Amino acid sequence: MSYPGYPPQSGGYPPQAGGYPSQPGAYPPQAGGYPPGQAGGYPQQAGGYPPQAGGYPPAAGGYPPQASGYPPAAGGFPPQSGYQPQPGAGGYPSMPPTGEDWIFKPYSGGWGAAPAGYGAPGGAQQGYPGGPAPGQPMPNYPGAPSTNPSMPGYGGGAPSHPQAPAIPKGYRGSIKDFPGADPLRDVEVLRKAMKGFGTDENAIIELLGNRTNKQRVPMVAAYKTTYGKDLIHDLKSELTGNFENLVLSMLMSPAHFDASELREAIKGAGTDEACLIEILSSRSNAEIQEINRIYKAEYGKKLEDAISSDTSGHFRRLLISLSQGNRDERETVDISLAKQDAQKLYSAGENKVGTDESQFNAILCARSKPHLRAVFQEYQKMSGRDIEKSICREMSGNLESGMVAVVKCIRDTPTYFAERLHKAMKGAGTKDRTLIRVMVSRSEVDMLDIRQAYVRTYGKSLYTDISGDTSGDYKKLLLKLCGGSD
């Protein structure tokens, strides 16, 4: 149907320059080294570890200074309303609260210059509590015999050169802003689709499937302003089943949707532990704090209290830690601290009778995601075993599945969500709540990366599997969120 006042649609969006950057992705284990990145490695740390005999010589010079910093992408995504980046301590700019999708801003001196406090001579060296003092060697690291023979020391194999995390760029969502969208005109389309005998579902699919969340949410207020009626109520009276659930989910803000999903996962008989872990391990601090605020306002109870009353033991502690929204979000990685954390995890699990779950909790819930990716690589090199396999050997039940999910989500977020989608569709019956939640929540974050991970892992495109597992209007709108086949 034609949209009142809209020019004919050409069937696609014009390419948009800039936009959200892609996620940095995972660090897949590689033999003897770190993933390839920018040449040169990290700048030499003042007072760092002395080079070990027989190892590689230190990289000369670190990063070459750039002439003017990292250039901003042309026509990049506009800042979110209400957010203005503030300079962070030590010279790094604060990152906007958009989950894993960071928009990097240049600072004076370019990427080659080390701001004060991050390795510059005279700057305060950052570290975690319990770490070695700056300039002091770590016990049992290269060149030093291990005081505990069962704990492997470093040394031997090919030394590695630390690499900077890749700078993500480019918008990776499947839904893009519709040029010139106007909620007052959009609700006319919805009203006509629902008025009279029968419902024009295709008009609803075409409209909602071609609007981003920030263009869809204002339709609720615009509908009431224009017609004096509640859009959600009218849609509920016209639609049914999974198609209705999907449409209503798309008209909620991300934080409201997450809060409602957490509520559904907790209330009633049984708990959807996988849903709790999925949301709390993949959202940014700012997003989790907004979820907490909305949960309390909507349901009259703190999210932490709801989790506490519905779970128990170390799994409860894991969820409560994640629900604080207080993870370190610095993008820099200190390899010496990553090695220290890897050794702590080894000492708390494989190298101990019993398991110190608290140590796993402290590191997995507090450290930054880039730091943890380096920790997982160091753990593999040190113990010869993948961190996921160690967790499965040391833990059981909800705690095991929760910890493994946190590791998977941090290590490679798109592959984690591809697995969530595959499990939702394979076998008898479809887990439609999971399918709807992932498709809606990731459609403007990393759906293109999820599609790539899906076809790489399962040999079929996500588009094909959704087509084969769903039907009708529900399928049509899901495929709009998917964006295409691979």
Can you spell out the DSSP letters for 33-94?
Answer: SPPP-STT-SPPPTT-PPPPTTSPPPPSSSSPPPSSSSPPPTTPPPPPTT----BPGGGPBP
d(CA 383, CA 63): 31
Supply the mean pLDDT for the chain: 78
- Rg of the chain over Cα atoms, rounded to whole angstroms, equals 25
List the single range of 177-186, 232-241, 341-350 with lowest mean pLDDT: 341-350
Bigger pLDDT: 152 vs 375: 375
Provide the pLDDT for residue 486. Answer: 86
- Average pLDDT for 161-179: 72
Q: pLDDT category, 4, cuts 50, 70, 90?
A: very low
Q: pLDDT category, 417, cuts 50, 70, 90?
A: very high
d(CA 91, CA 117): 8
Provide the pLDDT for residue 169. Answer: 60
User: 87 pairs with which residues across the strands?
Assistant: 93
* pLDDT over 60 (residue 174): yes
Q: In terms of CATH architecture, what is 255-324?
A: Orthogonal Bundle (1.10)
Provide the pLDDT for residue 340. Answer: 97
d(CA 335, CA 187): 53
- Average pLDDT for 46-71: 47
DSSP character at residue 478: H
Instruction: Tell the CATH superfamily of the 335-410 domain.
Output: Annexin (1.10.220.10)
DSSP character at residue 347: H
Smallest CA-to-CA distance from 56 within 161, 164, 163, 162 is with 161
d(CA 53, CA 436): 56
CB-CB contact of 183 with 222 (8 Å): yes
Q: What is the 3-state secondary structure (H, E, C) of 376-407?
A: HHHHHHHHCCCHHHHHHHHCCHHHHHHHHHHH
Q: pLDDT category, 349, cuts 50, 70, 90?
A: confident
First to last CA, the chain: 29
Q: Is 432 left (phi over 0), alpha (psi -120 to 50) or beta?
A: alpha
- 375: enclosing H helix or E strand: helix 369-383
Question: What tens digit of pLDDT does each residue of 289-327 get?
Answer: 999 999 999 999 999 999 999 999 999 999 999 999 999
* pLDDT over 80 (residue 251): yes
Beta strands in 245-385 (DSSP E): none
Provide the pLDDT for residue 103. Answer: 38
CB-CB contact of 235 with 199 (8 Å): no
* pLDDT over 90 (residue 388): yes
| Domain 413-482 in this protein, CATH class | mainly alpha
d(CA 117, CA 186): 51
270: tokens are: 């049984």
* pLDDT over 70 (residue 422): yes
Question: What tens digit of pLDDT does each residue of 117-154 get?
Answer: 333 344 444 444 444 444 444 444 343 334 343 444 33
Provide the pLDDT for residue 92. Answer: 43
- What would the CATH number be for the domain defined by 183-250? 1.10.220.10
Bigger pLDDT: 153 vs 266: 266
- Average pLDDT for 187-205: 95
d(CA 465, CA 126): 47
- Average pLDDT for 186-204: 95
Bigger pLDDT: 160 vs 202: 202
Provide the pLDDT for residue 6. Answer: 57
Query: DSSP readout, 397-465?
Result: HHHHHHHHHHHHHHH-HHHHHHHHHHHHHSSSS--HHHHHHHHHHHTTTTHHHHHHHHHHHHSS-HHHH
User: 93 pairs with which residues across the strands?
Assistant: 87
Residue intervals of the chain classified under CATH 1.10.220.10 are: 183-250, 255-324, 335-410, 413-482
329 burial (CB, 10 Å; 0-12 / 13-18 / 19+) is: middle
